[in-house]
Structure 1
Amino acid sequence: MSERRRGAVLEAALLDAAWEELEQNGYASFTMDAVAHRAGTSRPVLYRRWPDRHELVRATIAHVLGRDRRVIPDTGSLRGDILALMREVNATRAQLATVMSVHLAGYYQETGTSPADLRRIVAAGRENPLDVLFARAADRGEIRLERLSDRVRSLPFDLLRHEFVMNLAPVTDEVLTEIVDTIFLPLVQHT
């Protein structure tokens, strides 16, 4: 006889099952019934926590983002820090980026939101690693923060997400290096 799951253990199991459902079958097949079946539980167990599948999707994405927290690199240079963070994201988040961009098209249509809106919702209250990297680079005299727009600050990761969506796979280290060395650093160092 298996032990009954409760509290945080149960919630993590439910969110893991929801993630597997999104990954394997996409949002079109993402129902409370499908998640409950995959988790080996009943629909009322899900509905006690999330009133609908939209809330469950948001909780699932937040769960996936939270379970593998990134260590903020400190290599001693902006180039090294950005490349280290991009390499980690490339190794661990390609599937998440694909799910958020491609598999959740129906979610965005139903809720009138976008991938950027979902990212903002699930990232609320979390420390942004880029803020830390840019503050360190400014302290070292590599950049001037007041001259960096939000678009420039997010550029390397926007380009990485583009690569994920276009290729549906992690990118090569050569692409990461090209993004940083030929596009991003010349832009921020002259700003």
Structure 2
Amino acid sequence: MPPERKASKAAAEPDKRSRRRGAELENAILQAAFDEVAEGGYARLTMDGVAQRAGTNKTAIYRRWPNRAALALAAHRQFVAQAATPPDTGELRSDVLALLRGVVARMASSVGGEILRGAMSELHQQPELIRELREILADEPGTMMTILTRAVARGEARPAALTPRVAAVPVVLLRHEYQISGPVLEIPDETVVEIVDQVFLPMVRT
């Protein structure tokens, strides 16, 4: 086929990527954002780079996510985060340790950790991201409140401790450790144990 006929045929057949809609397009964008962070780190993540990699335009991205932090957290939720199911070991201490160790594991994943650290660094500019971070880090009151409710029923915690603010303490402290720890791969397990044994349990026990 002559070159000019090939070109004409190509022009008549628009790029299939341009026809993507809905979940298919969103998944492509999230995958592109995740891959961009994996290759260049959060600091080099840009909407332009994601759009180019996903084969779309920035308008399509901004319609769904208002900034790169929101986009990166959505990618984290899609490819890294797992639903936070409250542990149920039958004992308060082991439940909280299991929950916090799961948070540490998510923080320690190479790309996932990079996204979380980057998003945390932008909270002063986009404070609305704190809710998403809390959900990813299992610090929404519902998860710990479930654990505390069971502990109160077993007589391991006093009823007065059953408040969202008290329930949030363990992961808030863990998140603080993560923010100040620098580029480490994992928060030491002894830090997790200290948060539980030296801070949280004395706060809630009868």
TM-score range normalised by the length of the shorter chain:
0.7 to 0.9
**Over aligned residue pairs, what C-alpha RMSD do you find?**
3.1
Query: Which gives a bigger RCO, structure 1 or 2 (Cα 8 Å, sep 6+)?
Result: 1
Deviation at 1:161, TM superposition (A): 1.4
* Aligned residue in 2 for 1:119: 130
Q: Which residue of 1 aligns with 2:25?
A: 10
* 2:32–2:53 CA contact under 8 A, matched in 1: yes
CA distance in 2, matches of 1:127, 1:178: 21
TM-score normalised to the size of structure 1? 0.73
Q: Which has the larger radius of gyration?
A: 2
Question: What pairs with 1:29-178 in structure 2 (closer than 5 Å)?
Answer: 29-50=44-65, 52=66, 54=67, 57-65=69-77, 67-94=81-108, 96=112, 99-102=115-118, 105=121, 107-111=122-126, 113=127, 117-120=128-131, 123=135, 128-147=142-161, 150-167=164-181, 168=183, 169-178=185-194
Q: Give the distance between the partners of 1:63 and 1:99, measured in 2 at CA.
A: 9
Question: Deviation digits for residues 107-134 of structure 1, max 9, x if unmatched?
Answer: 44544x3xxx4222564xx773112111
Deviation at 1:8, TM superposition (A): 1.7
Q: 1:59 to 1:157 in 2, by over 3 A?
A: same
Please say which of residues 172-181 and 129-138 is displaced more in the overlay: 172-181
What is the identity, as a one-letter code, of the residue corresponding to 2:186?
P
Q: How far apart are 1:75 and its partner, in Å?
A: 0.3
Q: Which residue of 2 aligns with 1:26?
A: 42
Distance 2:132 2:99 in 1: 22
Structure 1's unaligned 5+ residue stretches are none
Question: Which of the numbers 195, 201, 205 marks the counterpart of 1:179?
Answer: 195
Aligned partner of 1:158: which letter? V
8 Å Cα contact 2:87/2:99 also seen in 1: yes
SS across alignment from 2:157: coil
Number of equivalenced pairs: 178
In the TM superposition, what is the alpha-carbon distance from 1:10 to its structure 2 partner? 2.5
Closer, same or farther: CA 103–72 of 1 in aligned 2, 3 Å = closer
Cα distance in 2, alignment partners of residues 174 and 25 from structure 1: 28
Distance change in 2, residues 1:179/1:33 (3 Å): same
How far the C-alpha of 1:77 sits from its partner, in A, is 1.0
**What is the percentage of aligned positions where both structures have the same residue?**
38
Q: CA deviation at 1:16?
A: 3.1
1:170 to partner: Cα distance: 1.7
* Cα drift, residue 81 of structure 1: 0.6
